[in-house]
Amino acid sequence: MEDFILTEDHLETGLRGIPVGYCPTSKVDPQLGLSYGGILLKELAHKAPEEVIFLLLNRRLPNDAEVKDFSKNLHSRAKLDPRVIEGLKTLPKEGHPMKWLVAGLNLMGMYAKNDSYREECMNVMAQIPELVAAIYRIRAGWGDPIEPKPELGYMENFVHMLSPPGANEHFARLMKVFDIIHFDHGGGNLSTFSGKTVASGHEDMYGSLISAMCGLAGPLHGMANQECLRFLKRALNEVGDPTDAKAVNNYLQQLWDRKDKLFGFGHAVLRVEDPRATVQYELGEEICPDNELFLMSKAMRVHGSNFLKQHPKVQNPYPNVDAVSGSLLTASGLTDETYYTVLFGMSRCVGIAIQIVYEREEARGGKGTPIVRPKYLYSGPAPTDA
């Protein structure tokens, strides 16, 4: 690694670009985008989620026998303690679903704590689909949670337990792709770093993931998918016809003139279109090519990028993962966008948990990383000797 010199210009910048450790699971390259275990996302997006989870855990893809054994391992752990479900039923329905996810992880930690980060990682990955499905059904009032059938497959079982009333025949396929593309995203994003920071104090996996999900819940991170969908709905309402290039460009100019945000564009690292977005645009052409919200997201992909390219201060004028995910979920029948961040969280808990296992049990020859304790420079009044 090239030498890194820390200067005062790096202070109060959110640690952006400052190396603090290693991430063995995934990498975000400015030109190539996201890769897991050295394999580009576009090569993984349509595999079985179990294969990709195995890859993140072992840094290689499994053979047929290994994925079968690994799937059986997940299946054997896939049942939540029923007291978690009973605890969820006591939560206020006006609370945001991300608050419910945090509460659910806390309940899991109360009833299922284990002294091994690796075991807790496996249990969380196996059980979080049931947790999220139960949150949806209880909070939305769709009836009692549906009993899991882990033999269906990792995400197939989740779709079975979720069973949103408006889901169409494409929903299961979309959820498998959505799950995979959100599993991991390097080591320094807010949610992952938060989880690893808390774990560095030797908090258990559940408490660490709670902190991660609190980080994910904000509009600048995981909740961006909700914001992007709302943006597309407003744009569609004002533009009318998403195929009318003139109307779309007029709308973009109006946004710019009133200093409103063009949601779903830009990325801290990438300087090309987010491959996670590319995968979703391609999938959308297959499962919902005529959906108006998807057509609006496509129009923004073309005209939004071209508009932003005219402004040299914009470092990355291309769509990110959130630009299109909400339109696909809506088109496939899950129309309540307040749950979209929870779907993101369900997936991201996989990668964060695996990174926590690395930092606690594998890093530094098995010693683990030390407790996170950065230095802050005092900037208040000079101390005086009274």
3-state secondary structure string, 230-291? HHHHHHHHHHCCCCCHHHHHHHHHHHHHCCCCCCCECCCCCCCCCHHHHHHHHHHHHHCCCC
> What average pLDDT does the chain have?
95
Contact 338, 219 (CB under 8 A): no
Structure confidence at residue 99 (pLDDT): 98
CATH fold of 37-219+339-366 reads: Citrate Synthase; domain 1 (1.10.580)
Structure tokens at 138: 């209880």
Alpha helices in the chain (DSSP H): 49-58, 64-76, 82-88, 97-112, 117-140, 154-162, 171-181, 190-199, 205-216, 224-239, 245-257, 275-287, 292-299, 305-309, 322-331, 340-357
pLDDT in tens, 50-71: 999 999 999 999 999 999 999 9
Greatest Cα pair distance in the chain:
75
Structure tokens at 99: 């608050």
The percent of residues in the chain predicted with pLDDT above 90, rounded, is 87
Per-domain residue ranges of the chain: 37-219+339-366, 224-331
Q: What does the pLDDT average to over 339-363?
A: 97
Q: What does the pLDDT average to over 200-208?
A: 98
Q: What does the pLDDT average to over 352-371?
A: 97
Alpha-carbon span 55 to 36, nearest angstrom: 7
Reported pTM: 0.95
Residues 39-50 as b/e (b if ≥16 CB within 10 A, e otherwise) read bebbebbebbbb
pLDDT in tens, 13-43: 888 888 999 999 999 999 999 999 999 999 9
Kindly list the catalytic residues: 221, 267, 322
What's the Cα-to-Cα distance from 55 to each of 24, 192, 364, rounded to whole Å?
11, 18, 21
Alpha-carbon span 53 to 58, nearest angstrom: 9
Structure confidence at residue 1 (pLDDT): 55
Structure confidence at residue 114 (pLDDT): 85
Residues pairing with 36 in the sheet: 26, 39
Structure confidence at residue 2 (pLDDT): 64
Number of residues that this document lists for the chain: 386
Q: What does the pLDDT average to over 148-155?
A: 96
Pairing, β 26-29 against β 39-40: unpaired
Calculate helix-pair angle for 322-331, 275-287, nearest 10 degrees.
Answer: 20
Q: CB neighbours of 276 closer than 8 A, spacing ≥ 6?
A: 33, 34, 41, 181, 182, 320, 321
Asked whether residue 273 carries a pLDDT value surpassing 70, the answer given is yes
Residues pairing with 334 in the sheet: none
The CATH superfamily holding the domain 224-331 is: Cytochrome P450-Terp, domain 2 (1.10.230.10)
Contact 95, 338 (CB under 8 A): no
Collapsed DSSP state (helix, strand, coil) of residue 228: helix
Check if 37-219+339-366 and 224-331 are the same fold. Answer: no
Alpha-carbon span 129 to 206, nearest angstrom: 15
Alpha-carbon span 160 to 289, nearest angstrom: 25
Alpha-carbon span 35 to 43, nearest angstrom: 9
Q: Which residue has the higher pLDDT, 327 or 224?
A: 327
Pairing, β 39-40 against β 33-36: antiparallel
Contact 361, 368 (CB under 8 A): yes
Asked whether residue 386 carries a pLDDT value surpassing 70, the answer given is no
Contact 341, 222 (CB under 8 A): yes
Collapsed DSSP state (helix, strand, coil) of residue 376: coil
- Neighbouring CB atoms inside 10 A of 340's CB total 25
Residues 248-277 as b/e (b if ≥16 CB within 10 A, e otherwise) read bbebbeebeeeeeebbbbbbebbeebbbbb
